[in-house]
């Protein structure tokens, strides 16, 4: 029976690289996959899922009104080997329910890759629903960027152009250069949020 998987982490842990490797493994064996990336990220990356190590692949684009139910309506059971979704934190609650339904009814595994929490330490809506509904939760790990720290990074800090920590603002602000990842201890020391 097919399952929904949620691969989550902070930034710089290799989520997109892992997704693209999984896609390669399927397609190398002649199996059909369908890839998705959110509009907010696709606009910066020409509609492609991209990794920091240079791998990339064109994907279908979803926004907050996109219907996974409608998209997969015409596909028969087992016609697709796997659905892969990058930046899954940008899924809506309804879209998470839709991909679960597609997985269950069409027997298609769905592999979602995304960030768990934002720069304030709060869950993204898509991540919250994936944590609640996915069959398998897999944490991808990276290390804290604080000097000489080797703890697992679990938090993300946002910085302004002068290097000052930002504690308030819109949850979504695309652009990796102003973000850094830290363990909870150093996140607390830098932000005072927790």
Residue pLDDT, tens place only, 67-122: 999 999 998 877 899 999 999 999 999 999 999 999 999 999 999 999 999 999 99
pLDDT, residue 175, reads 60
Q: Compute the distance between CA of residue 87 and CA of residue 100 in angstroms, rounded to an integer.
A: 17
Residue 168, burial from CB neighbour count under 10 angstroms (0-12, 13-18, 19+): exposed
pLDDT, residue 42, reads 66
In Å, what is the CA distance from 24 to each residue of 2, 6, 58, 60, 142?
A: 19, 18, 13, 16, 23
For residues 119 and 166, the answer to whether their CB atoms sit within 8 Å is yes
pLDDT, residue 142, reads 94
Q: Is 122 a catalytic residue?
A: no
Helix (H) or strand (E) holding 57, with range, is strand 56-58
pLDDT, residue 177, reads 57
pLDDT, residue 64, reads 96
For residues 116 and 127, the answer to whether their CB atoms sit within 8 Å is yes
Residue showing tokens 């493994």: 25
Query: Which one of 87, 98, 145, 147 is the catalytic residue?
Result: 87
Low-confidence stretches of the chain (pLDDT beneath 70): 42, 174-177
Reference 185, options 145, 127, 131; nearest CA is: 145
pLDDT, residue 60, reads 96
> In sequence order, which residues have a C-beta less than 8 Å from that of residue 24 and are 6 or more positions away?
none
Give the pTM: 0.91
Structure tokens at 81: 């080997």
At residue 38, φ and ψ (nearest 5 deg) are -75, 150
Structure tokens at 162: 């002068």
pLDDT, residue 75, reads 87
Reference 33, options 101, 109, 86; nearest CA is: 109
Tell me the three state secondary structure of residue 91: coil
């Amino acid at each position: 029976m097919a399952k929904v998987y949620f691969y989550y982490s902070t930034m710089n842990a290799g989520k997109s690289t892992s997704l693209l490797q999984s896609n390669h493994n399927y397609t190398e064996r002649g199996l059909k996959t369908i890839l998705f990336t959110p509009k907010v990220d696709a606009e910066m990356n020409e509609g492609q899922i991209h990794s920091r190590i240079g791998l990339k692949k064109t994907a279908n684009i979803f926004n907050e009104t996109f219907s996974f139910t409608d998209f997969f309506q015409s596909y028969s059971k087992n016609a697709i080997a796997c659905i892969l979704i990058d930046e899954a934190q940008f899924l809506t609650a309804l879209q998470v329910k839709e991909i679960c339904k597609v997985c269950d009814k069409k027997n298609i595994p769905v592999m979602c890759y995304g960030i768990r929490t934002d720069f304030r330490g709060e869950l993204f809506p898509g991540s919250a629903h994936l944590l609640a509904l996915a069959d398998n939760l897999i944490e991808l790990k990276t290390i804290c960027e604080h000097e000489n720290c080797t703890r697992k990074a679990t938090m993300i800090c946002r910085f302004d152009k002068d290097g000052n920590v930002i504690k308030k603002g819109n949850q979504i602000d695309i652009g990796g250069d102003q973000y850094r990842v830290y363990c909870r201890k150093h996140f607390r020391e830098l932000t005072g949020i927790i």
